[in-house]
Amino acid sequence: MVISAISTAHGTGGVAIVRLSGDGALEIAEKMFFPLCATAVKNFKPNMMYVGNIDGGGFYDLGMCVYFKAPKSFTGEDVVEFHCHGGVELTRSIFRQTLKFGARSADKGEFTKRAFINGKLSLSSAEGMIDMINAESSASLRAGSMLYGEKLTREIKSVQSELTDVLAKIDVDIDYTDEAEETSALNIETEIKNISDKLKKLSSQYSSGKKIKDGVTVAIFGKPNTGKSSLLNALLGYDKAIVSSEAGTTRDAVEGEIIIDGVKFNLIDTAGIRSRAGEVEAIGIERAKKIISSADIILSVSDGGGEAEIPPYSGKLIRVFNKTDITEPRGNYDIAVSAKSHSNLEKLKTVLSEKSLGGTALGEVLVIEERHYSALIRAENSLNSAMENADNCTLDLLSIDLKDAWDSLGEITGETANEEIISTVFAKFCVGK
């Protein structure tokens, strides 16, 4: 069945694209496109643009048509694209004509889903594509591009190959004597541990990967009037939070985003922490404590007048002394700044960048999807079960855990993913992709 969709963003633009995919796409193009050259549509050379008139149902738009011949296309099927002028109703009219001539409106992500089904890309590569589209920082774009480039897929397939080798040895050894089986089991246990170590290395990347993809959450907390809101505004480069000398001005969280060294940081200015507060302010303080507990980094802001009670998250705490423009730094602090004069703000950004990923190099991170992390953990658990039971069970029982590990890894690439998983992945896409 031929599917059709508008593949460019909704709105007015210079050019819009209506895309078709499936057996019969070229036949629809023959009915809708009238080239200015003497070449008939059925004789179009693949991957070449042709200028002509596109039937929009009651009018003709001068545009272009390109044909991608199966299997050398994005979807692995015959693909046709109409490149027309980017008017909203103009594009819709051409799209409606494709439906009139036999196409069906594509579902979300159906073009990419067909590419996956036809073996043009793995499931993890498809997820990398949507991550690239949705990237809000250069770091998340790079991570998405590595995923789209099948780097994680290659790592997973390499591990699966090692598991296959172990399973093959088990199948052979099942026919051997008990003595041979015992000797083989020792070697197999070592191989399983080596495979498990590789998976642990991959899964350990997820903490950094999540921050790269979604951004690093930074909670700014402290006593009232320490300059938390001023610090937020200074880091953002514009006034987002209300600044006042009156205690309790910030009663709810105020958020803003910045990019530091290619990584997105979600800054949250929380209500000032104090014991004496009105009912409304107290609600804001409780919300602040919840935000602080889930933050990746905490900026504890003081100005020499005493610190708010330090929460039990010292591993992600940065003590900031503020107001160096009017007073000398004192007490316990990691960095001294002035939100008003912007003194040492760039150094603070450097500290945030260094602390955010714990020294992990951006190019090392391959695991950015929660789905992949969960599958890796399940595979690790299966391998741990195999190692724990290696001395107490037969090789055929041992192979069950190894096959479970292989299947868990296959969910990442899509080899063993069920329809529910596949549908969930492609539902994240827009129509036309």
Neighbours of 58 (CB within 10 A): 7
Distance of CA 307 to the CA centre of its chain: 37
**Mind listing the pLDDT tens digit for each residue in 313-332?**
556 889 999 999 888 888 88
Which value, in Å, is the radius of gyration of the alpha carbons in the chain? 29
pLDDT at 169 over 80: yes
Take residue 135 and report the two structure tokens written for it. 């990237």
For residue 269, the enclosing domain spans 221-356
Rounded CA-CA distance 335/329 in Å is 9
- Identify whether the C-beta of residue 124 lies closer than 8 Å to the C-beta of residue 147: yes
Q: What does the pLDDT read at residue 315? A: 64
361 in a structural domain: no
The total of structural domains in the chain comes to: 3
Give the residue among 423, 424, 385, 425 at the shortest CA–CA distance from 403: 385
Shared domain for 324 and 347, answered yes or no, is: yes
Q: What is the mean pLDDT of residues 94-103?
A: 97
432 in a structural domain: no
End position of a domain, from candidates 101, 117, 133: 117
pLDDT at 251 over 90: no
Q: What does the pLDDT read at residue 280? A: 44
Shared domain for 241 and 148, answered yes or no, is: no
pLDDT at 49 over 90: yes
Shared domain for 104 and 129, answered yes or no, is: no
Whichever domain contains 15, its CATH number is 3.30.1360.120
Take residue 367 and report the two structure tokens written for it. 């695991």
Strands of 76-146 (E only): list them.
79-86, 104-105
pTM for the model: 0.85
End position of a domain, from candidates 316, 335, 356: 356
Report the percentage of the chain scoring pLDDT > 70: 86
Which phi and psi (to 5°) does residue 97 adopt?
-65, -35
Shared domain for 75 and 21, answered yes or no, is: yes
pLDDT at 289 over 90: no
pLDDT at 176 over 70: no
232 in a structural domain: yes
Shared domain for 102 and 129, answered yes or no, is: no
Distance of CA 247 to the CA centre of its chain: 40
Q: What does the pLDDT read at residue 202? A: 95
Q: What 8-state DSSP symbol labels residue 338?
A: B
Q: What does the pLDDT read at residue 239? A: 76
End position of a domain, from candidates 55, 86, 117: 117
213 in a structural domain: no
Q: What does the pLDDT read at residue 291? A: 74
Beta bridge partners of 335: 320
Shared domain for 109 and 141, answered yes or no, is: no
Residue that the structure tokens 């296309």 belong to: 73
Whichever domain contains 249, its CATH number is 3.40.50.300
Beta bridge partners of 217: 266
Higher pLDDT, 144 or 278: 144
Rounded CA-CA distance 124/421 in Å is 11
Distance of CA 261 to the CA centre of its chain: 18
Q: What 8-state DSSP symbol labels residue 249?
A: -
Shared domain for 73 and 137, answered yes or no, is: no
Q: What does the pLDDT read at residue 310? A: 60
91 in a structural domain: yes
Rounded CA-CA distance 372/394 in Å is 31
CA angle 367, 370, 372 (to 5 degrees): 55
